[in-house]
A and B are shown apart, each in its own frame.
Chain A
Amino acid sequence: MATTTTTNRYGAIGPRDLIIWALFALLFAVAPLIFRSGLAVTMLSQIGIAIVACLSYNMLLGQGGMLSFGHAVYSGLGTYVAIHALKAIGDGTFPLPVSLIPLVGGVSGIFFAVLLGFVTTKKSGTTFAMITLGIGELVFAMSLMVPEFFGGEAGVNANRMAGKPFMGITYGPQIQVYYLLAIYTFICTALMYAFTRTPLGRVLNAVRDNPERVEFIGYSTQRVRYIAFIISGFFAGMAGGMAALNFEIATAEVVGAGRSGAYLLFTFLGGATFFFGPIIGAVLMVIAFVLLSEFTKAWLLYLGLVFLLMVMYAPGGIASLIMMNLRVAKFGKLGRLLGWYAALAVTGFITFVGVAAIIEMVYHIQLNEALGSTLKFMGIELDTKSLASWLGAVVTAVVGLVPFELTRRRFAVRWGEVQGEIEAAIRAKEMA
């Protein structure tokens, strides 16, 4: 906004930032006290890992304009090196406190980013994306060819209850692991945020916006990309090392294209244009992988649909949706939109129920035919052999979709009006 306080003209960290960071730390501290179940603590641990991974990915995507299809290479190899280190600690051949295992992952992340990133970051844009894809496939193929390191199909196991306990901390109970990972997550997040406020971090944004011009203000875009790639590799490796400690196993899928795709998908979903976007994405990633996959067999299909809709209608991700609405609220115009949101939610939900019923029935025919033709869906008995079920689902979808689309079109007009008014208000303020 046009009003900058004189104390913070240059983007220095102020009291407001400190409060936000303190709340962030507090959240990590109390989360397992609120969500006490074993599953919850496991998920919270995974969320920490995912946050570091997605933020490191966004250093490339959101901040540097580098679309990588192979980010799991750096987190995954970090996991492998860390798991071997953990094994060595167990064997007594590597005297390192277990608490420092994530750093082993981080250092190996740097190593592989220095090695492979030199090739990748020579180019930008589409070529960069292609090379990362190639390297991703290469490393995945290697994982099957070198079972000594990658452990073949079974993967590599290790036990984190190795070495001497430190102040009674054995890392046996998951809660101890959680708090260790929470500390790492907090530090890594803070460091990555700090990076966005450094000369290199800002020039990386410039490279994203206009690489050609950067060359004419004294910077080698290749060098900027390479250094940023190495730093991103370090944090990806940290996430990998944290995962090694959490899961005590590394299998080939941690370096696979699926994992790389998940980083891309959820970073985008959370919002690549804001620093905190990938944090939202990371939370969603764990929820989707752990909960949604339990809930329905068609979870990947739903995920694909959400991704599709997001790319089409809200390319800035959830973070930008939040920020845009906060802006509307700041100008006191959110009230005018709330009714529309309610209408969109209701019609959208009806559409979703209809579509989801069709999807579930199709999946049921394909996968669970042997269990009979009936299935339970949101408390209703559906029968894949009955015309009524199919008709009902289709009618529900249509009954939802038609008013949804009509509402959406009129909402888009209102939204445009509100944005126009806000722009005008900002201009008026600038002129004043």
Chain B
Amino acid sequence: MQKIAYPKEQLHRIAFTKLTERQIADKLAAARGPTSASPLSDALAGRQARIVTDNGPELDYRFTSKDRLTLAENGGRAVDAAYGALTLDNVVLLTHLVPGTQRGYHVVVDRDSRLATVFEVWFSGFTDNREVQREVYFGYVAEPGKAAPEARHALTNRAEGKGFYWKQDNGVETLEFYPSTFYSNFVELSRLGGELGFCAPSDYVKIDDERYVYSRVECEFSGVQTLYVFDVNRAEQIGVRLGFDAGDALEYYVFKGSGEWLGQIAQFERFGDTAATPMPAPTDGQPLAKGARRVYRPMRSGWQMSKEEVAALTQKNVFGPPSAMAGNRSPISDFLVGKELTLAFDNGVAVEYRFDAIQSLRWRHRGESRWNEERYESWESAPGVVMFGHLVTGAPKLDCYKLVADFDHGLVTCIHGTIGSEYIANEAQAETWFGVIEMAGITPPKYRRHHFTDELVGRAITWNYSPGLTSMHLYTTPHSLSWIIFGESGAGGMEWSGPASYVKIRDELYLAYWLEEACNGTLGTILVNLRTMHDCGIGYHCGRDGLRLSSMGAHARHAGRFDVAKYYRLKT
């Protein structure tokens, strides 16, 4: 019996239906309110509440039972609706849709302070109708005879850097990381088998120093929203999930959950900066549009090419002038110059090399007579460990080899890159080959090889490529990697992720690659040296400007580590 439910397609490969407004309206009309695996709270039953928000709606609620309410918005006509509520100590989360509309509210109230955070949510507000839109309002519960409190909940960076394992009352298990002030990273352990981490634009609201509201919308995927209140100390949550799943069924439920604290990685804002990263105002002076948020939408930039376009490509840029990604690259090495050797891999591929000059090599597969000339670059990351790469002229899929050879131990690993996946014709793919170095003076091992490792998993490392260009890698799972762009304040900002793989070369020396699948198709490969805190690497990309093999290089800083490796191990 299979114990892990892997999906047929991962999130970034699912062709989510472009639901129409009519389809969404029909599905919402059929909903009877949020479901719940746990009993709904009756904390609000029989009560009334007027919630006043700053620059937002005034909501007059009358809770007729634990699952029915009436709502009058801004003094308008009251409507009946189903709702669900859960409590986490003094905090109440209630959620409902507004009948006859594609809107709804998720309301978080701190009953002690009377402060409230209101998420107004709606469908059909973007090109992709199924993507939940949201606007966040802060306010309070008005009580007759009492002055309005001056304080408010607020967007915050105080949740930045935290990570949790969560298990909901319905059995859903996730790992969730908050390395940004407006994005987050989630690993669906139970829904998707925990192979990959994915990223979504997110909101973080501070209730107090222990409790926060987190909300993400899976933009560019299903468009589902997951919102919860969580207690940092106790790792407990109450939440709501709203949206349409891969089968277009409405997911609308509330949940309780508990979890484990995974750790805290570094923040890079100035000391004393506890603010959020506000959405920048439009340059034309207009106010922000309702629901405005920063969303990375890589599949809408038109980078994808047809097979015919790829086949017609003639332009190649092999280690041309360094880009901003190579501003801090290491010097090119002459270690290989003059060497003659064979790299013999366990899959039967053996490649003979003659390194004629510092940027010129010849290669041929064993058994061939004709040599192929290629331009290459190499870097000696640690004594005796050289990374180099080159195109494989004549190969059927615009192939490249990116290699790390350890001459002290006679070992080599090749990341074999090719162009074209079953989804996108100009998207890079990769496979990893392990093998040995055969050359005069080296007797390679018969059994020992470089090997895949999870030693990097959970780590966060910043990479400064050149002035103004710094990102952070978060090695979220053994098979995926996330990258976070910093804002001007040093706060984590835009984030995205892709499939990845990690190979241990030596202690504190790792070969990593990541695929920017459904992103821009690049295969990035870096040799991470955690002693020099410097990497060397090679980018491989196919676009309308041709096939490109380019150097990369950045200075690193440790940003901390989440304790997550145990969640990925296979259990009996």
Question: Is chain B found bound to chain A in the same assembly?
Answer: no
Seen from chain A, the residues whose Cβ lies within 8 Å of a Cβ on chain B are: none
